[in-house]
Amino acid sequence: MFNLPIEGEELFVLEFGDIVNYFSLYTTTLFLFATAFIIIAIIARPERQTDIIFGTDAVYTKEVSPDNLRFQRFMAIACGLATLGAVCSGDLFNFCLFTALIGITNIGIVAGVNNRYVLNAAYNYGIVAMVATTFLFGGAATALGSCGTLSIWELAGLGMVPLAAKMFLVLGVMGEGMAPFYIAKAEITRAPGAPYVLMIHVSSLLIFLRVIEIILTV
Partner 1 sequence: MITLILPAVFIGLLFHGIHRKVIARIQGRPGPPIWQEILHTLKFSFKQTWIPKTASMPMYVFIVAVSIAIWTGAFYIVFSGGSLLLLFAVFMLHKITEHGLGLSSGSPYGKFGAIRSVMSAASEIPLFATIAGIYVVTGSLMISDITKYQEIHGPLLIHAFPIAIALYIVILSKMHYGPFSIIEAKEIVSGNRTEHFGVWRAGLEVAYALKTFVLLAAFVLLFIGALPWYLMLLAMLILLVSLSFVCAFTPMLSPFDAVAMQTVITGILAVYIIILGVMG
26 lies in the site for partner 1, by CB under 8 A? yes
213 lies in the site for partner 1, by CB under 8 A? yes
CB of 202 to partner 1, least distance (A): 6
Residues in Cβ contact with 14 at an 8 Å cutoff, skipping those fewer than 6 apart: 20, 21, 22, 23, 88
Residues in Cβ contact with 154 at an 8 Å cutoff, skipping those fewer than 6 apart: 147
Beta-carbon-side half-sphere exposure of residue 177 (alpha carbons within 13 Å)? 25
Considering only 97-105, 120-128, 136-144, 191-199, which stretch makes contact with partner 1 by CB under 8 A?
191-199
**In this structure, are strands 50-52 and 19-24 parallel, antiparallel, or unpaired?**
unpaired
CB of 148 to partner 1, least distance (A): 26
Smaller CB distance to partner 1: residue 140 or 197? 197
CB 215 within 8 A of CB 60: no
> Does residue 180 have a cis peptide bond before it, meaning omega lies within 30 degrees of 0?
no
- What would the x/- binding string for partner 1 be over residues 48 to 87, using CB under 8 A? xxxxx--------x--------------------------
Q: Which residues bind partner 1 (CB under 8 A)?
A: 5-8, 25-26, 29-30, 33, 36, 40, 43-52, 61, 179-180, 182-184, 186, 188-189, 193-195, 197-198, 201-202, 205-206, 208-209, 212-213, 216
